Every structure is written in C-alpha cells, then in structure tokens.
Structure 1
Amino acid sequence: MYDRRVSGILLHPSALPGAGGIGDIGDTAYRFVDWLVTAKQRRWQIMPLGPTSYGDSPYAGLSALAGNPLLISLEQLVRLGWLDEGALQGAPGAYGDWIDYGAVIPWKLARLEWAFAGFTARADGQHRAAFEQFCAEQQAWLDTFALFAALKEAYHGEPWNRWEAGLARREPAAIETVRRQLAERIQFQRFLQWVFFTQWAALRHYANERGVQIIGDLPIFVAYDSADVWANPDIFHLDANGNPTVVAGVPPDYFSPTGQRWGNPLYRWDVLAQRGYDWWIERFRLLFRLVDIVRIDHFRGFAAYWEVPAQAATAMEGRWVPGPGAALFAAVRAQLGPVPIIAEDLGLITPDVDELRRQLGFPGMAVLQFAWGGDATSNYLPHNYTRDLVVYTGTHDNDTTVGWWSTLDEHTRQHVRNYLGARDETIAWDFIRAALMSVADTAIIPMQDVLGLGSWARLNLPGRAEGNWAWRMRPEQLNVDRAHHLAYLTGLYGREPLVEKEPATYQQA
C-alpha cells in the first residue's frame, strides 16, 4: 500500500482552531495542511465525517454516507456572497479549548439556514448547475438522507422508531406525502451536503497536491437512529417493530471490565451476501471519494463479532458470531479494484483475525501505550514490529501520552524508562521518537502528543456517555517550531517525503 516509510498526524477537523466555536474545513484546515508539509508529514488521519447526533460522537452518526454540516466553513459561504460577514461574529466558545455543542449547533445551523436563503436568492448559474449536478449524481443516497434529516427535524430529533408508523415503516403513501410537505426542508439538507462535499473535495485536492494523503475512518457498525437502518431494515437484525434483537459490543478488555455494550444493530450478513454486499460496496465507494486511505474501525468484527442480546444491560452476556470474512472484501475489490485499507486490529485478537488480515494484505495497528508492564514478547513493543503496521503513540480512545504517563504505577514507568531511555518531562516526544524510529511503515501521532497536552485534552473515554469529542486546538499551538522539530525527527528516521519543490502555502481568497 505504501511506497516508502511515512508518518502523519491524527486530528479531526472539529478540533482545529478558529472563531466559529468548532473546527471546520475552511481556512484553518488549509493552514493545517501547510503545517503538515512544514513538519514533513504525509498523512492526515481523521475520524468519520458523518453528521453527529446525541453524544456528538463521529462513531454514532446519522448516516454512514453523508457529511457533517457542522464542519462546513462559513467564511467560504461569505466569500460566495450567500452569507453576510456579520453573521460570523459571536460564536459560542469562539477560539476556546472546548466545543460547546449545545450552544454551537443551533448557532451554526441558523447561519447555514441564512446561507441557503442567500444561495436561493443570489447564486449564479454556475453554482446552481453544480448543485443540480451533485443532486443528480448522488441521488441514490442523498434523497434518502435528506428526507431522513428533514423528518428528524420535523419530529424534533426523535429517533425514527418513534415517528408515525407509516413513516417509520417507509410506507410509500406516507413517504410521498411528507416529500411534498417537507420539500423545502429536504432541499435545504441537499444543499448542506453539496456544500460539504464541495468544500471537502477542494481541501483534499489541496492536501494531495502537497503530498499529503488523508486517512479516513470507517466504523464497522452504524447507529440505530440513522438513515442507514431506517432505509435498509432488511439488512439488520430487527424485530417486527423495528427494534434491534441483538446489538454490537466487545467483551471485557483493557478499557472496561464488563466489556462495552455499544448498542449498534448488527448486520444480517446472509442477506447482504445474497445481495452481493451492495450496501457495503456503495459505502466504500463514497468514502473513497472523500479520502485516500481507509482505516476500518473494529476490523476483527469481519472475522467474528461480539453479539449482545438487546435486552442485556452489559456486554458480558454476549457471544462470538462469525462475520463475513474475506467474501465482503472480494466483492468490494471486484467492484472498486484494489483499495488501500488499514485494519484496526486492537483488543482481543484471535488467530482467525490475524489470518484474515494477512490474507487480505491489510496492515494492522500497534499502540505504544499498550506495550508496557509485561515482558519482551508484547506485540506492541517496537522490537516485535513488522513493516506491515501502522504504529500510534495512542489513538482517539486513549488518554494523551502525558496524561497516561501521570497515571502509571512505578513498575510500568520504569519499564518505559529502561526500554526507551525516557524521561518524565519529555515522555510525549520520547514516544513520538520511538514510533518514528520503528520499522512500521507508517507512524501516526495524535496532535495532543505533539503539543504535550495532559488528560484534559483527551478526546474520548470509551464508556463515558458525555464530555467526549470536545477538545480543540488554539491558533498559537499550530506553530512552526513544533513543525520543525517533528520534521527533523521525521527525516532522521527515514520518513521524510520526496519533494521536488516546496508547494505554495494557503492564501485566503
């Protein structure tokens, strides 16, 4: 999958700095790409880009196919003349360290409404034609999602199984009626998706031109309250009332002694196989329109997944059930050709998972924080790495390296010191150095570790329902000194990109 050793940064766009209360895919995202180039990084890893819902998790979105309107750049809409510049003032949280979702969401949606009104009144023929073309090309998924989102709004956010029965069951007469009643709101949702996809395509092009590839994220499971389940109930284990009979999770592990009961509905893989895995193929097809490489979250679920009875309070009552194995990926390859995929193979990994990953030729993952306190046989210790790995100091589910270090017992700390020659005051950079010097083809560093931040900047604590996904950078943290230090280490360990000439940096239009 890779032509040579590379490295990159893990940072979701929502965590970028800016005046809008939440990071977006506008000016600061372009400047972040410039920072990556200065730091000689060739990968930018993000999390799922879909629209979020309760809990604000990108891993529990309203759609596996749509984009998140909260990431839209309002500044770019001002430049197009669809939004007044004064509308950008007064964002809740502005340049703060945290996203106040409860305040930011209504503030930003109001401005997106104004932009839609401005587009309707003032857009030129070229932009109107581009919008119509997007709607025609993406109709297969876009019309369904736009209707779903408009209905969610009409029902004040209620999950689809609490809608009027005819709508919950997608009865044709009921659907046709609401399509007419909600025509304007449906068109607004189409507009949001067009703007998101257009802005994202421009940002990705800018990154690719500068030698930066984007690693996207594909969660194996989707949220129950999503357009995916509402529109495709036959491919999920649901009862006659549309409720899940079994749900996803994982058994007890590093993160939770009772396991994790995620609650996502599980697939009817037999039905999907009969359909040639069509839904999955389209999911991959659309995601590869957005990113260059796909990391599959919870890859082990394709070998076997943890099935939990829907009525169970915890995941401890679950059982292993065989997944689709290589057949799914054979179908994807037949339709899309060879596609670059990273397999997230963390947690309880059995030989069948390793065998499937190797059969498919996907690199796996190693996390440095998991390596310590045991003996020299740990797969996460760098001397046991192989080239077909992506090594992380930590992932979005881990504490920051500084925060993790502060909670360690002395025995484990001493193991790290002995192995890496690490020091308390430089632990984050000691871990970065260890990842970069390893034989793993790819090394990915969370931005919080580059910044040396503590537990307060942790992005997600698995099992915690609230308070996640909210950390943001400050503008001054995106500085050239850190970029140059990272660039030095990147070159020292043979991960420096081959660049014939320095690309131009971003200039605001």
Structure 2
Amino acid sequence: MERASGILCHITSLPAPQGIGTLGRTAYRFIDFLHGAGQRYWQMLPIGPTTYGDSPYQSPSAFAGNPNFIDLDMLADEGLLDIEDYADFDWGDDPQRVDYQQIYRHRQAVLQLAWQRGRDRDRRQVDAFLQEQAFWLPDYALFVALKRHFDQQPWYTWPEDIRSRQPQALEHYRQLLREQVDCAVYIQYLFFKQFARLKRYAGKKGVLLFGDTPLYVALDSADVWAQSRLFCLDEQLRPTAVAGVPPDYFSATGQLWGNPLYRWEQMAAEQYSWWIERLRVAFSLFDLLRIDHFRGFAGYWSIPYGDRTAAGGHWEKGPGLDFFRAVVTELGRVSIVAEDLGVLTDDVLQLLEETGFPGMKVLEFAFGDGPDNLYLPHNHTPGSVVYLGTHDNDTLAGWIATAPRKTLQHAQAYLGAAQPRLLADSMLRAAWQSVCDLAIVQVQDLLGLGSEARMNTPSTASGNWTWRLREGQLTPALQAQLRQMTELYGRIVPEKEQSAGEGGHNRPNFERADR
C-alpha cells in the first residue's frame, strides 16, 4: 500500500431523510469530504442484509447487499417511485439514531413498488445481472421469499422437504413464490447498480472503498441452507460445532458466537469455490478488504453445539496458506488487510508472514503496559494499518473518560500531552505520524464524540449499530484541518498516482451494459 489515510464510517451512519444512511446524495457528499481532506480510503463495515440484532456481522447472506442502503430519492429520479410513495412514512424520530423497527416496517413495501414499476422496463439488465451472480443469487432470492412465506422463521424450522432442499420441493416453491423471488432479485439489482455508480464516482475522486468480510456466516442464512455440505451440520442439519473464542484475560468463559463452523476438508475438495466466489463479489465492490477474525484461517476454536459457554471448546487447524494460494490462483493479486487483534499464536504469525497481508495496530490497546507493547507507535512496522480504535471499541473520547488512571498517565507521558483533554488530538497525530502505511480514524473520533456515539459494545444484544452523523457535522474547517495534518505527515497521495478503480476487480457486466 502507498502511505495514505482514511475514515471509517458505516453507510448506516450517514445522514439521510429516510431514517438510515444510503447510497444516495449524502454518500457522494462524504466522498467529496474525503477528497477535499486528502483522504484515500473510505472504510465501511460489512454491507450485507441485517436481521435480528441489526449486526452487519450476522448477515443472512455472505454475498447480498443490504436493501436498506438503496436510496429512494435516486429511485424517484429514475421514475421507479414517486416522492409521495415514501415521504410521509415515519422513519424514526431521532436523526442521530437508526430506528430499525421503523425501517423494517416500511422499506420493503416501498421497494416492492419500485419492482412493480421497473421489472418490465429493466428486464434485460436484470437478466444479465442474474446471470453474472448465478452462483448465489437464485438461492438467496428463494431464501428471502421462503422466509416471508414461513413468517420469518429460521430455515431449520421449515418443513423437512424444503429444509433439506429436495428437488421437488425447490421446484414447487420456485413456482409458488416466483413473484417474490423476482422481487428479491430486482432489489439486489438496484443495490448493486447504486453501489457501482457510487464506486465510479469515488474512483473519479481518487477515493478507494475499503470493505469488511466476516470470517463466519450466520446459521440462519441462505449460505448455510443452500450449501449445507460446507458446514459442520449433522444429518438433521443441526450444527455439530460452532464458533467462538476461548477463555482469556477478558472473559473467564470465552465468547460463544454460535456461527456454524466450516468443513474445511470439503471446502478444499471443491477448491474453495464458495469462498473464492464470495471474494470475487466483494472485490467487484471494494478496492481493499479487511478479513475479520483472520486467525481462524490458521486455527479456530471449535465449541460443541449446545454448550452454554465457550469454555468447553478446543483448537482445530485451519486451512492455512493452501486457502490463500487457491484465492490468488483464481483471483490474482488481492488487496487484503488481516484483522489480527488479540492473542496471536505462532501459527497465526507464520500465516501473516507467508501471505504478506497487512495487520492492524490499535492505539487504544497501546498504553498501560511496558515499552514492548506491539501497539505502541515505536513498535509499529511498515505494511500495517493503524487505528485509534475500531467499531468494537469505545470512542476515543469515551475511552479517555473511562480508562484506568495508570493507562492515561502512560499515554500522556508517551505522547507528551500535558492534560487528558489533549490526548485525543495527540493520539490522532500519533496515528498519522506512524510508519504504518495506512492510518484510519473513526468519524466519531474525528469529531471528538463521547460514548454516546459508540457503534458497538460486544456481548450486548441491543442499542448497537444505530449511531448517525448529523447534517453539517463534517464542516469545511474540519476538512481543512484534516488535510493539513495529512499533508504534514506525508499521507496525501499525489493526484497523478491516484488510480482508484471504476468498479474494482472483475466488475459485473451489467455495469457496462447500464452505462
């Protein structure tokens, strides 16, 4: 990577009149802000659909885009909607919080209107898109239709014939639910079309899109239902082992995530085709990808299904370098950042070295110990990405307000900040000064916001993923200040070297047809 910097801001956090951030006007304005501030990267959280809990890391599809991000005003501009179709809905009464209940209540009906008006007009483009995404889209669209047909119940509670995907049942429901299936395909067409348009604009502004790919998928997902042989399930399609992490300093019982584990030996027998197609789609949308829980490719914690904690699990060997060799063989050189946080064992460190992927350094983890802490700036290494904090951490201001006194004293002494109130600016500068190739700041930390703006608190079931920017918070003065610091520490990419793509790797054909 070239020496550069960027901002982490999930799409949901953008201000928009439809209750949630979208791929519309404010997304383009955010790219303009990044360009003016000299920022090279816009990092997002996973962009898949969300369900109960609203977490982007527990999506019902590893491939699909989130229909909530489709901008309704852009659909109106295309003649697919009238403003009256959605302007009077209650999208929530707090502009700084996403009201997912209200979004769920209204959005699908509005998108169905767009489908009814556009399905005949756009048939050729939609058919081309469906052909391009044939690996996953037919199964996903049927899954969406079936979920509605069975009152959103998990697939593993459906009647046995469709739960186990018997051919007669599949054909029966495809015919019975063909309208709903067609609508689900069209909605994905709209999402990918709007995202591709945004990506082309970002490319013209020299801004690269930085995505996030969770290692695991949700049990109640189209992927596990359609590709059950690839997951650790028994003959009744119940999990035999699930994901998590072992007990450690932070938790005496570990973390029980509950995602079904992969059958890596079956994945290998199929040349990792499911994962390769997943990454192919992701790289059609993004220029750079962070793989969450990267250590799972070296070794993963396997917990017997039904256990109430993660303490009874054990380590299993992951696919290692063999997996990434297969990826490079199929996709060529790929731009991946490894989320390598936590306790790193020798096998993880070896895999990082063998792949050459950049790892992560987090300044909120740096202070309170001795000088050997790997997150301290003097221990940073080129070929890494430095963060002040991630979406799972408190905001920087919240961290400063609650960190132990010893930790704050160490940070102040190390950074030369005479008072705690000066720490936030000092830490931001330390990240930009770092020898790490890429420096990323959460937009909340750029604005100096407190814990009320935290994106996620791990192991809590509610109140997460809701924070939003207010209109006008990203001011020209803030833009100029960030650009000045970015220039000062050599993170501005010269215009002639900016080569952001207009669709990424393996761009779907439907984009070209749509121009």
User: TM (normalized to structure 2)?
Assistant: 0.94
Q: CA deviation at 1:287?
A: 0.6
Note the alpha carbon deviations across 1:393-416, whole angstroms, 9 max, x for none.
000111101111111121111101
1:198 Cα deviation from its structure 2 partner:
0.4
Q: How does 1:289-368 map to 2 (within 5 A)?
A: 289-368=284-363
Question: Does the 8 Å contact 2:242/2:258 carry over to 1?
Answer: yes
Superposed CA offset, 1:435-486 (max 9, x none): 0000000001111100111111111111111211111111111221111111
Tell me the distance in 2 between the aligned counterparts of 1:111 and 1:427: 46
- Map 1:90-239 → 2, pairs under 5 A: 90-93=89-92, 96-120=95-119, 123=121, 127-239=122-234
Residues 245-287 of structure 1: per-residue CA shift (max 9 Å, x gap): 1100012346544321110000011111111111111111111
CA RMSD of aligned residues (A): 1.6
Counterpart Cα distance in 2 of 1:203 and 1:15: 16
Name the CA shift for 1:15/1:256 in 2 (closer, same or farther; >3 Å).
farther
4+ aligned runs moved over 4 Å, structure 1? 500-503
Deviates more, 1:162-171 or 1:128-137: 128-137
- Is the contact between residue 401 and residue 427 of structure 1 (CA under 8 Å) also seen in structure 2? no
- 1:74 is aligned to 72
Answer whether contact 1:18 1:94 (CA < 8 A) is retained: no
**1:507 aligns to what?**
none
- Paired amino acid for 1:114: L
In structure 2, distance between residues paired with 1:237 and 1:458: 34
Greater CA drift, 366-375 or 257-266 = 257-266
2:493 aligns to what? 497
Equivalent in the alignment of 2:429: 433
1:263 equivalenced with 2:258 (yes/no): yes
Q: Confirm or deny: 8 A CA contact 2:210 2:288 kept in the other structure.
A: yes
**Does the aligned pair in 2 maintain the 1:45–1:216 contact within 8 Å?**
yes
**Shift in Å, 1:95:** 6.4
Q: Does structure 1 residue 486 correspond to structure 2 residue 498?
A: no
Identity of aligned residues (%): 48
Distance 1:257 1:483, change over 3 A: farther
- SS for the counterpart of 2:50 is coil
Contact 2:206 2:498 in 1 (8 A): no
Q: What is the CA distance between 1:144 and its match in structure 2?
A: 0.6
Q: What code does the residue aligned with 1:105 have?
A: Y
Q: Which amino acid aligns with 2:165?
A: R
Alignment partners' CA distance in 1, 2:18 and 2:421: 34
Aligned AA (2:491): R
Question: For the Cα contact (< 8 Å) 1:373–1:415, is it kept in 2?
Answer: yes
Q: One-letter code of the match for 1:22?
A: I
CA contact (8 A) 2:119 2:186 kept: no
Separation (CA, whole Å) in 1 of partners of 2:207 and 2:252:
39
* Stretch moving more, 35-44 or 253-262: 253-262
C-alpha distance in 1, partners of 2:247/2:82?
A: 52
Sort the Cα spacing of 1:255 and 1:391 in 2 relative to 1 into closer, same or farther, 3 A: farther
Tell me the equivalent position of 1:57: 55
In structure 2, distance between residues paired with 1:387 and 1:394: 19
Cα distance in 2 for partners of 1:501, 1:312 equals 53
Q: Deviations over 1:298-333 (max 9, x none)?
A: 000000001111111111221111100000000010
Whole-angstrom distance in 1 between the partners of 2:250 and 2:146: 36
Q: Which amino acid aligns with 1:73?
A: D
Unaligned runs of 5+ in 1: 504-509
**Alpha-carbon contact 2:242-2:261 (below 8 Å) kept:** yes
1:453 to 440, 446, 449: 449
What residue number does 1:24 align with?
22
Give the 3-state SS of the residue equivalent to 2:289 in structure 1. Answer: strand
Which residue is 1:48 aligned to?
46
Distance in 2 between residues matched to 1:253 and 1:41, nearest whole Å: 37
Displacement of 1:501 after TM fit?
Answer: 12
1:64 is matched by which residue type in structure 2?
A
Give the C-alpha shift of residue 128 in structure 1.
Answer: 3.0
Q: Deviations over 1:132-172 (max 9, x none)?
A: 21112212211010000110111111100011111100000
Q: Matches of 2:302 and 2:421 in 1, distance apart?
A: 43
1:388 to 375, 383, 392: 383
Question: Comparing 44-53 with 322-331, which one deviates more in the overlay?
Answer: 44-53
Shift in Å at residue 196 of structure 1? 0.3
Distance 2:279 2:294 in 1: 14
- Whether the 8 Å CA contact 2:411–2:423 is kept in 1: the answer is no
Structure-2 separation of matches of 1:91 and 1:24? 17
Find the aligned partners of 2:187 and 2:480 in 1 and give their Cα distance: 37
Q: Deviations over 1:174-209 (max 9, x none)?
A: 110000000000000000100000000010111112
For the 8 Å contact 1:35–1:483, the answer to whether it is kept is yes
Residue 425 of structure 1 and its aligned partner are, at CA, apart by 2.4
The one-letter amino acid of 2:316's match is V
Question: Contact 1:436/1:443 (CA < 8 Å) preserved in 2?
Answer: yes
TM-score, normalised by the number of residues in structure 1: 0.95
SS across alignment from 2:311: helix
CA contact (8 A) 2:43 2:210 kept: yes
Q: 2:439 aligns with which of 437, 440, 443?
A: 443
- The worse-fitting range, judged by mean Cα deviation, of 94-103 and 357-366 is 94-103
Letter in 1 for 2:240: T
Residues 84 and 254 of structure 1, relative CA distance in 2, 3 Å threshold: farther
- The whole-number CA distance in structure 2 between the counterparts of 1:254 and 1:365 is 20
SS at match of 2:232: coil
Moved more, 468-477 or 374-383: 468-477
- Number of matched pairs: 497
Q: 1:118 to 1:248 in 2, by over 3 A?
A: same
Q: How many angstroms apart in 1 are the aligned matches of 2:173 and 2:272?
A: 30
Measure how far apart 1:239 and its partner are: 1.2
Rate the CA distance shift 1:369–1:257 in 2: closer, same or farther, 3 A: farther
Give the partner amino acid of 2:434.
S
Per-residue CA deviations over 1:360-382 (Å, capped at 9, x if unaligned) read 11010010000111000000000
